[in-house]
Amino acid sequence: MKLPPHEQTQSLWILVASPTIWAVHFLACYTTAAVWCAKMAETGGDLGAARWAIGVYTAAALIGIAIVGWRGFVRQSFEQVPPPFDADTIEDRVRFLEYAALLLSILSAIATIFVALAAVFIGTCD
């Protein structure tokens, strides 16, 4: 795979993509549970459908993070150059960004699972 020496490949957006998915997932889980418990369930009521929704959010978030992480893995291993990626070249800058994106994807995936674990163990609105 050849890296296109283009301005866009050095974009910082790829770096924040996975943490952003994690943040949106957290917000979506929190909002869904809050609205469900406030509007649809009684005090101490069942989380019910909100748990399924959190399951769907989690699956979607993990797929998104996996895509970003896979892209990072493939691009950082371009030409099998080992780290550190600190040369003043487009290739090294891209490798650095993609490597950081890969590591952040792993962190985001773990954090997303941690968020979802609460819904696995807690089945009520209490």
Partner 1 sequence: MFRFHAFSTSSLHGFCPRSARTGRWGRNALWFTCLLTISFLITGCEGIQSALNPAGRDAALIAQLYWWMVGGAVIIWLIVVGLAVYALQINATEHDYNVTRFWVIGGGAVAPTIILTVLLVYGLSMMPTLLEPAPEGSQTITVIGKQWWWKVRYHLPEGQAVELANEIRLPVDEPVQFYLESADVIHSFWIPSLGGKVDMLPGRQTRLTLHPQRTGIYRGVCAEYCGGSHAKMSFEVVVMERDAFDTWLEQQQAPAKSASNELAERGESVFLAHGCGACHTIRGTKANGKIAPDLTHYGSRLRLAASALPQTRDALKEWIAHPKQTKPGVHMPSFALLSEDDLTALAAYLEGLQ
Give the interface with partner 1 as residue ranges (CB under 8 A): 43-44, 106, 110, 114, 117-118, 120-124, 126
Residue 89 or 110 having the CB closest to partner 1: 110
- State the minimum distance, in angstroms, from the CB of residue 34 to partner 1: 11
Residue 5 or 123 having the CB closest to partner 1: 123
Cα–Cα separations (whole angstroms), residue 112 to 4, 10, 41, 52, 84: 32, 26, 25, 15, 28
Backbone torsions φ then ψ of 124, nearest 5 degrees:
-125, 170
Q: Which residue has the tokens 């957006």?
A: 13
- State the minimum distance, in angstroms, from the CB of residue 126 to partner 1: 5
Cβ pair 98, 76 in contact under 8 A: yes
Residue 79 or 121 having the CB closest to partner 1: 121
Quick one: which of 21, 47, 31 has its CA closest to 113? 21
Residue 8 or 43 having the CB closest to partner 1: 43
- State the minimum distance, in angstroms, from the CB of residue 30 to partner 1: 16
